[in-house]
Copies of this chain bind each other. A is one copy, B any other.
Amino acid sequence: MSGIEAALTETASAVDEFLHTAMPEPDGPEAVLFEAMRYASIDGGKRLRPLLVVASGGLFHVGRQNLVRTAAAVELVHCYSLIHDDLPAMDDDAMRRGKPSCHVAFDEATAILAGDALQALAFETLASPETHADPAVCCELVRCLAIAAGGHGMVGGQAIDLEAEHAMLDIGEITRLQQLKTGALIAFACEAGAILGRAPRAARQALRAYAHDLGLAFQITDDILDAEGDPTDMGKAARKDAAAGKATFISVLGLDRAREQADMLADQAAAHLDMFEDKAELMRDIARFVVERRT
């Protein structure tokens, strides 16, 4: 297993362990809700966002428990957004992470509520003294995650994406859409390590620049995988964008230029980390992984 795969696996298992503790096996009449929350969050996905938290925190000697709890909070927000995005009224996707979507495995009402409860759990997790002994750090985490996840971040991007089905976006508009929809949460994951480590402003700035390029590289690669990927490998439907006639990086740039652009952005992301010298090796590996992955 390569270094990055080992790091992903290790992060995934630490996050899962936390999620098992935070959402114990359900009991009582609310059992179904907790089953749905567990179904949609435990043991699924690459855990790229958690790994970004762990890797960025590694630059500043942040404690293991602080990193794992923060990583789990980011993943909880990501998972809740996937549940809601998959709903019939939204993207209407029946498969997610290689299994039936939450509303298919349970029902729509339960899926809506499970997403809502996962979002609340993310903020509960960050606001706890177990996430950081300094409440000012916890507040900063809550505030930054809420902004990244809200109307001026992830949810705003999803709203623009819905509108985009009726409008031909240009490359600038697609870039902004994706910076909100996927970029904001990825940026928070990269910055979280610096917040936890009370890093100096310049370091935080560098991570923000890295996250900006990484987020776009990630999304362009997602569009490439959607255009040519295998739905079985990906664990979800493919070629949905083209079928919907949606403007994507591929429809605007074409496959070859999109691939070049993603590569260039990954290199550029890594270059922002020069000040961290050898300590940023994992962060640089993540940038390569993001554009070279097959799922």
Residues on A lying within 8 angstroms of B by beta carbon are: 23, 29-30, 32-34, 37, 80-81, 84, 87, 89-90, 107-110, 112-113, 115-117, 119-121, 123-124, 126-129, 134-136, 138-140, 142-143, 146-147, 149-153, 155-156, 158-160, 162-164, 167, 173, 177, 180
Contacts and interface: CB of A to CB of B under 8 A. Distances in A.
Contacts of A90: 109, 112
A159 B112 contact: no
9 contacts: A89-B108, A90-B112, A115-B116, A117-B150, A119-B120, A123-B123, A127-B139, A135-B135, A139-B142
Contacts of A164: 29
A162 B87 CA distance: 18
Provide the main secondary structure of the chain A interface.
helix
Contacts of A120: 119, 146-147, 149-151, 153, 155
Contacts of A134: 135
Contacts of A107: 89
A173 B167 CA distance: 50
Contacts of A129: 139
A115, A124, A129: residue with the most chain B Cβ atoms closer than 10 Å: A124
A160 B109 contact: no
A117 B151 contact: yes
A93 B120 CA distance: 24
B159 A30 contact: yes
A153 B124 CA distance: 12
Contact of A156 (B81, B109, B117): B117
A254 B96 CA distance: 47
Contacts of A23: 151
A284 to B, nearest CB: 31
A158 B113 contact: yes
A158 B30 CA distance: 9
A142 B123 contact: yes
A151 B37 contact: yes
A34 B163 CA distance: 13
A90 B37 CA distance: 17
A163 B109 contact: no
Contacts of A162: 109-110, 113
Nearest to A131: B139
A89 B111 CA distance: 10
A168 to B, nearest CB: 12
A33 B151 contact: yes
A88 to B, nearest CB: 8
Nearest to A37: B151
A180 B30 CA distance: 11
Contacts of A30: 151-152, 156, 159-160, 180
